[in-house]
Amino acid sequence: MSLATSARLARRELRGGLAGFRIFLLCLALGVGAIAAVGTVRAAIESGLAREGRALLGGDAELRLTYRFADESERAWMASEATAMAEVVEFRSMAVTGAGERALTQVKAVDGAWPLIGTATFEPAMNIATVLAGRGGLPGAAMDPVLIDRLELSVGDTFRLGRQDFALMAAVLREPDSIGTSFGLGPRTLVAAAALENSGLIGPGTLFDTSYRLTLREGDTLQQLRQSLNTAFPDAGIRWRDSSSAEPNIARFVDRLGAFLVLVGLAGLAVGGVGVSAAVRSYLDAKTPVIATLKTLGAEGRTIFTIYFLQIGILTVLGVVAGLVLGAGAVALAAPLVQAQVPVPMAVGFYPGPLLEAAVYGVLTALVFTLWPLARVQDVRAAALYRGIGTESRAWPRAWALVWLALALSALIGASVWFSGIWMLALGTAGGIAGSLVLLFGAALGVRALARRLARSRMLRGRTALRLAMGAVGNPREGAVAVVLSLGLGLTVLATVGQIDANLRAAISTQLPDRAPSFFFLDIQPAQIDAFTAQLRATDGVNDIDTAPQLRGVITRINGRSTSEFPEHWVLHGDRGLTYAAEQGSVTVTEGDWWPADYDGPPLVSFGADEGRELGLSLGDTITVNVLGREVTGTIANFRELDFRSGGIGFVMTFSPNAFSGAPHTFIATVNADRNVEGAVLRALGEAFPNVTAIPIRETAQRFAEALSTLAAATSMAALATLATGFVVLIGAAAAGERARIFEAAVLKTLGATRGQILASFALRSALMGAAAGLVAIGAGAVSAWAVLTQVMDLSYRFEPVSALLIVAGGVLAVLLAGLGFAARPLAARPAGVLRAQE
Amino acid sequence: MNAPVSSLPVLTLENACLTLQGNAGPVDILHGISLEIEQGQSVGLVGPSGSGKSSLLMLLGGLEQATSGSVVALGQDLTAMNEDALARFRRNKMGVVFQSFHLIPTMTALENVATPLELAGHADAFKRAEEELRAVGLGARMHHYPAQMSGGEQQRVALARAAAPRPAILLADEPTGNLDGVNGQAIMDLLFGLRDRHGATLVLVTHAPELAVLCDRIVHLRDGRIEGETNPAETRDAEPRVSAPRVSAPRDSAPRDSGAVA
């Protein structure tokens, strides 16, 4: 029996048309489409970032320094190795108006060469030189429109940074080398670096970053330039970025978010899989006489399997292709909309990679969800042609099919791990989906059994509508399993997102202000710290002050090995705040001992316990940090608890006090004040210490919450795709049951039931199944939200009833809508016509 | 060509039992059936509804596996074969006709008839299928789908399909049950004609006494047991007006009386 014959028979079978496969195709196409769309957007952003790399960086390469400017030798190196160089200084400060309004701003001070690539746009339109030149003897500045509004300034007004006045020349609309301003602390103020000389803001110990953007000489490569830099200044603590990864943080963020959303999309595909499975089951059920006939005519089990496997295979390819067209097409159509929403450049186009990824997911999901029913076709008995009894094929497919099923499932999970690159999240998602499906399947069977019992109980006698509804839900043919599975899984995803979102919001809006200080103060000079604390202590309403010396440095080596050899960890990424202390104070040491207050030996370090564990550190290990170009190596003396959630001062590394003796540094302070005096405290300190930067915690938390809600919104969109697929499955189940309901309604009418009673019975059964799906979704959603919040985010979890109730209500409503949408024909059908046709 | 009759048993049942597992528990369908059918014989299975006629026919066709006892067809023990082996056996040796035709709705008449030949790997499946359809008088309807044909035409397609592989055994389960008298008569003529032309053994389930008397033997079933057997030749002699005039006239083209009587 050749494959060609099977293929021929399969083709003849498919002549029946695709009408019976609408749900199959829609489920597959929606699931694949969502994944293809997410993947295409991600690829477009990544490609946009790469394309605009030079402009975003503001040059071919960037050298970044902390707290200092390049020295003479470094400048000489740049002059000899690059064709052009632009210097940019960035720091946080307070902008103050003549009216006394003050606001945190991120200052960017540039030289005359900036920007090397692209142009900055201002309102009113002018060039950068005009902006910086200023007017009336004052240096010029441009500000983010948000900041102009906040300070109630208009173009032409004067404001002050530190001790220097500036003329506001324009609003800055676009900087070619900045896309991440919204992620920074405070909106932008753009000034000339030379104008800051007398501001008192930039000096030894103050917190500022300098970056030098360079353009390559003809014929040079980035690699050569980098090697030359490393040779010339091996230990200068110079950080390197180049146009191949201009925005590594954003690229990483987009990559992670994309991978996460694809995994959410995978949940949608799993929902679609439930619909696909149900569609194939009902198709094959209807084909039982044909299969039995083929067996009678001499077809072997394997031939039968091949015939139907090929049919489903062809349909799978159709569904997947439709999904790819849908996903890629949707992105292409919505590109202008999406581009307006994201602050990063997108290069919309055709990206085969993400489409291939979506196709692989689609094919494997179809395989996983159809192998079981397909494998059972070969057990259809020829005797099915003349009787119904005893021909039900056995519940379990044969061993080979189970092996293939396991292989396909492993391939699917393996693919998600491979494609996402985040194996823990991928496995967690796979486990979550599988766990939810098992839970939902159990719940569906439970609901069915319970409904059957209730339908027969004495309690419901006389309540006809309810008894009929229970009977229907309890009937294996009513599709309760498919409804609860598909809707339940969609709702579970939504419930998880809802619970996490609500918990995060609660954590930010209610928990933080109770414990957190009102302000962070930065850049307090050593000479100012005593006067600063004294003034605060003298202010009524100030409850708590905490200060610590601060330096910033980059960890360069652990136990003498370069940090580039270690797996990525945020502590190793960029520069960190460092402090020193003689006394242990209120911190809890988890391992090792604090040093004596008068310790004067080689530098010792107290390291954050969790971070140390993640980095695989133990007592006695050495940490080398580069502070202002100087390398300091400390030995880990103890590990201590760090609680970032308290909002207090939390340094990963605290050194023994002798480690940085003589190094210029500043102090930071946290201040807890009553809300009604916050404004007064800020004004008084601002006047006395104009160089000190205040960060209002509540405002920052608000900004953080906004960023989180954007994330939650993106996740909800992906979850909605899941729900839409679930709804398609619902409609499929409702449509499949329509004929049975027409007959049921006809019989009931004959027996004297009114249309109202019949409708009530239909509505009740829908509501029951929806409620069951919703309740399980809440349970599964709560468990997965708990896992994400407590195990991944290290936060506490509290059940959020409002979002949960919405989920159940939504579930009931969805099933009601799908069910009642198909109630019209059963209600309208005249019994005589229906019952005559049934004979 | 007359049907040759020899003493060689083509189908042998020995103490065959059939019990099915229903939702409400096991149901005994057939009890200790022993029967021997010789090559070229035509046997009618008759009995009231639920007597086990169809089940016995399915047992003979290997569409049903005996719970105990033995079923031997053409020297092969069907009870020892699995579903696939049975399918291969049927493909080459048996043709089955059902009361409700069971044509595959997505295939044309021609494709329906060609299917068993294709399954058996015959390269000339379609050519042979065309010949078979012409032989049952449907040369003009080859490319029609079952839904476009009358019941009688559909059953003729089913007959052509069953006969196409030249099976040694033809099994028919109430082949005229869904047809009116005229169509039923035409089908019976074709069925017996096919049997005669190919020398096949024919086992026929029927409710209609006037069809049963056309067979060489009539086996009576009741409650899953063989109640007895009659010789239709005697019946025909005793009551010639019941069947002889109606059955002999249309089947002139395929004389079979000599074989049947012998």
Q: Which two tokens stand for residue A805?
A: 């109730």
- DSSP codes, B21-33: EETTEEEEEEEEE
Q: Which residues 6+ apart lie within 8 Å of A658 measured at CB?
A: A599, A600, A601, A603
Is A383 within 8 Å of B58 when comparing Cβ atoms? yes
Is A14 part of the contact surface with chain B (CB cutoff 8 Å)? yes
- Of A409, A496, A540, A354, the C-alpha closest to A804 is A496
* Chain A neighbors of B61, CB-CB under 8 A: 296, 382
Which one of B27, B98, B111 has the shortest CB-CB distance to A385?
B98
Chain A residue with the nearest C-alpha to that of B60: A383
Query: Beta strand A188-192 with A102-110: parallel, antiparallel or unpaired?
Result: parallel
A823: which residues sit within 8 A by CB, 6+ positions away? A741, A759, A762
Dmax over CA atoms of chain B, in Å, equals 51
* Mutation target vs A (from B59, B60, B90; most A CBs, 10 A cutoff): B90
Residues B12-50 pLDDT 10s: 999 999 998 776 788 888 999 999 999 999 999 999 988
Average pLDDT, stretch A225-249? Answer: 80
Instruction: Give the whole-angstrom CA distance, residue B96 versus residue B114.
Output: 15
Output the CA–CA distances (angstroms, integers) from residue A766 to A437, A495, A816, in the order listed. Answer: 20, 20, 5
Q: Does A294 contact B104 at a Cβ distance shorter than 8 Å?
A: yes
Chain B residues whose beta carbon lies within 8 Å of the beta carbon of residue A380: none
A106 in helix, strand or coil? strand
Q: Per the structure block, which two tokens stand in for B130?
A: 């065309």
Residues 201-220 of B with CB under 8 A from A: none
Query: Is B83 in the A-facing interface, judged by CB distances under 8 Å?
Result: yes
Q: How far is CA A19 from CA A703, A717, A734, A739, B146, in A?
A: 51, 30, 15, 16, 19
Task: Give the model confidence (pLDDT) of A447-498 as tens digits.
Answer: 888 888 887 777 777 676 777 778 778 877 667 787 888 888 888 888 888 8
Confidence of residue B237 (pLDDT cuts 50, 70, 90): low
According to DSSP, residue B80 is labeled: G
* CA dist., res. B15 & res. B31, Å (int): 7
Tell which residue, A592, A601, A597, A582, has the closest CA to residue A655: A582
- Provide the angle, in degrees to the nearest 10, between the axes of the packed helices A301-341 and B83-93: 110
B93 contact A CB<8A = no
Q: Hey, is A31 helix, strand or coil? A: helix
Say if residue A685's pLDDT is above 50: yes
Task: Determine contact: A7 vs chain B, CB below 8 A.
Answer: no
Average pLDDT over residues A561-573: 80
Measured between CB atoms, does B116 come within 8 Å of chain A?
yes
Cα(A539)–Cα(B237) distance, integer angstroms: 131
pLDDT band at A29 (very low <50, low <70, confident <90, very high): very high
Q: What pLDDT does residue B243 have? A: 38
CA distance linking residue A162 with residue A94, whole number of Å: 7
- Among A94-103, A246-255, A552-561, A780-789, whose mean pLDDT is lowest? A246-255
Average pLDDT of the residues in A133-141: 92
Distance from CA of A393 to the nearest CA of B (A): 12
Task: Give ipTM to 2 decimals.
Answer: 0.75
DSSP A445-482: HHHHHHHHHHHHSGGGTT-HHHHHHHHHHHSGGG-HHH
From the list A9, A300, A390, the residue facing B84 with the nearest CB is A300
* Crossing angle between the packed helical segments B109-119 and B125-135, to the nearest 10 degrees: 130
Q: For residue A515, what pLDDT is reported?
A: 55
Which residue intervals of A462-559 are DSSP H helices?
Answer: 464-474, 480-506, 512-515, 529-537
Q: pLDDT at residue A700 above 60?
A: yes
Cβ-based contacts under 8 A for chains A and B:
97
A-chain residues within 8 Å CB-CB of B21? 390
- The residues facing A688 across adjacent strands are none
Shortest distance between the Cα of A293 and any Cα of chain B, in A, equals 7
Query: What is the band of A434 on the pLDDT scale with cuts at 50, 70, 90?
Result: confident
Residues B186-224: pLDDT tens digits? 888 888 988 888 889 999 998 888 888 889 999 999 999
What pLDDT sits at residue A388?
57
In this predicted structure, the answer to whether residue B239 has a pLDDT above a threshold of 90 is no
In this prediction, residues A715-725 reach a mean pLDDT of: 76
Listed in sequence order, the residues at least 6 apart from A790 whose beta carbon sits closer than 8 Å to its beta carbon are A796, A797
Which residue from B minimizes the CA distance to A3?
Answer: B119
- Of A13, A299, A389, Cβ closest to residue B106: A13
Taking the CA of residue B140 and the nearest CA in chain A, the distance in Å comes to 21
What is residue A324's predicted lDDT score, i.e. its pLDDT? 96
Gyration radius of chain A's alpha carbons: 34
- On whether the CB atoms of residues A159 and A151 are closer than 8 A, the answer is yes
Which residue in A323, A243, A311 sits closest to A62, CA to CA?
A243
The arithmetic mean of pLDDT across residues A598-607, rounded, is 90
Say if CB B112 and CB B138 are below 8 A apart. no
Nearest Cα of chain B lies from the Cα of A474 at a distance, in angstroms, of 17
Q: In chain A, pLDDT over 70 holds for what percent of residues?
A: 91
Q: Is the pLDDT of residue A221 over 60?
A: yes
Q: A389 touching B, CB under 8 A?
A: yes
Number of C-beta neighbours around residue A620 at 10 A: 10
Is A390 in Cβ contact with B119 (below 8 Å)? no
Residues of A with CB below 8 A from B104's CB?
A: 12-13, 290, 293-294
* Burial zone of A130 (CB within 10 Å; 0-12 exposed, 13-18 middle, 19+ buried): middle
Contact A323, A31 (CB under 8 A): yes
Higher local confidence (pLDDT), B250 or A64: A64
Q: C-alpha angle with apex A233: A227 to A236, nearest 5 degrees?
A: 125
Q: Pick from A244, A254, A247, A246: which is nearest to A43 by CA?
A: A254
Of residues B87, B111, B161, nearest to A295 (C-beta): B87
Of A8, A296, A389, the CB nearest to B96: A296
Nearest to A400 by CA among A302, A317, A315: A302
- B120 and A298 within 8 Å at the Cβ level: the answer is yes
Q: Which residue has the tokens 């670096």?
A: A193
Beta-sheet pairing, B169-173 with B94-97: parallel
In angstroms, what separates the C-alpha of B136 from chain A's closest C-alpha?
19
Which one, of A375, A373, A442, A369, lies nearest residue A409 by Cα? A369
A295 at interface of B, judged by CB pairs closer than 8 A: yes
Closest C-alpha to B254, from B176, B212, B198: B198
CA distance A296 to chain B (A): 7
Interchain pair B20, A389: CB under 8 A: yes
The answer to whether A536 touches A542, Cβ cutoff 8 Å, is yes
Q: What is the mean pLDDT of residues A700-727?
A: 73
Ramachandran region of residue A253, left (φ > 0), alpha (ψ -120 to 50) or beta? alpha
Q: What pLDDT, on a 0 to 100 scale, did the predictor assign at position A234? A: 78
Contact state of A9 with B118 under an 8 Å Cβ cutoff: yes
For B40-64+83-261, the fitting CATH number among 2.40.50.840, 3.40.1010.10, 3.40.50.300, 3.30.930.10 is 3.40.50.300
Position B247 pLDDT exceeds 80: no
* Residue A298 pLDDT greater than 80, yes or no: yes
Which residues of chain A are within 8 Å of residue B83 when distances are taken between CB atoms?
295, 300-301, 378-379, 381-382
More confident residue, B240 or A65: A65
B2 vs A690 pLDDT, higher one: A690
- Do residues A7 and A313 make contact, with C-beta atoms less than 8 angstroms apart? no
Check pLDDT > 70 for residue A180: no
At residue B100, does pLDDT exceed 70? yes
Give contacts of B120 with chain A, Cβ < 8 Å: 298
| Residue whose tokens read 């399969």 | A10
Question: A185: pLDDT confidence band, cut at 50, 70 and 90?
Answer: low
Using alpha carbons, select from A182, A311, A280 the residue that is nearest to residue A702: A182
In degrees rounded to 5, what are phi and psi of residue A416?
Answer: -70, -35
Residue A389 with chain B: CB contacts under 8 Å: 20, 22-23, 27
What is residue A287's predicted lDDT score, i.e. its pLDDT?
87
Whether B90 and A13 lie within 8 Å, measured CB to CB = no
pLDDT (0 to 100) of residue A510: 60
Question: Any residues with CB less than 8 A from the CB of B135 and at least 6 apart, and which?
Answer: B160, B163
Strands of B76-77's sheet, edge to edge? Answer: B25-38, B9-22, B68-73, B76-77
d(CA B10, CA B196): 16
Distance from CA of B233 to the nearest CA of A (A): 31
Range of A360-364, A629-633, B7-11 with top mean pLDDT = A360-364
Q: Give per-residue pLDDT as tens, A242-272.
A: 887 777 777 777 787 788 788 788 888 888 8
Distance from CA of A26 to the nearest CA of B (A): 24
- Inform me whether the pLDDT recorded for A696 exceeds 70: yes
Contact B90 A296 (CB under 8 A): yes
pLDDT at A644: 55
CB count, 10 Å around CB of A67? Answer: 26
Q: What is the pLDDT at residue B161?
A: 92
Cβ-defined contact of B119 to A297 (cutoff 8 Å): yes
Q: Per residue in A744-791, pLDDT tens? A: 787 777 777 778 878 888 888 888 888 888 888 888 888 888 887 787
**A504 has pLDDT over 90:** no
**Rounded to a whole number, what is the distance in Å from the CA of A5 to chain B's nearest CA?**
7
- Which two three-digit tokens encode residue A586? 């209120």
Check CB contact under 8 Å for A298 and B119: yes
Beta bridge partners of B111: none
Of B63, B103, B116, the CB nearest to A382: B63
Q: Are A233 and A78 in contact (CB under 8 A)?
A: no
Looking at the partner chain, which of B22, B83, B96 has a beta carbon nearest the beta carbon of A301? B83
In angstroms, the CA A440 to CA A438 distance is 5
Interface test mutation site (partner B, options A5, A287, A297, max chain B beta carbons within 10 A): A297
DSSP letters for A128-169: HHHHHH-BTTBPEEEE-HHHHHHTT--TT-EEEETTEEEEEE
Mean pLDDT of chain A: 83
Answer with the residue of higher pLDDT: A512 or A137. A137
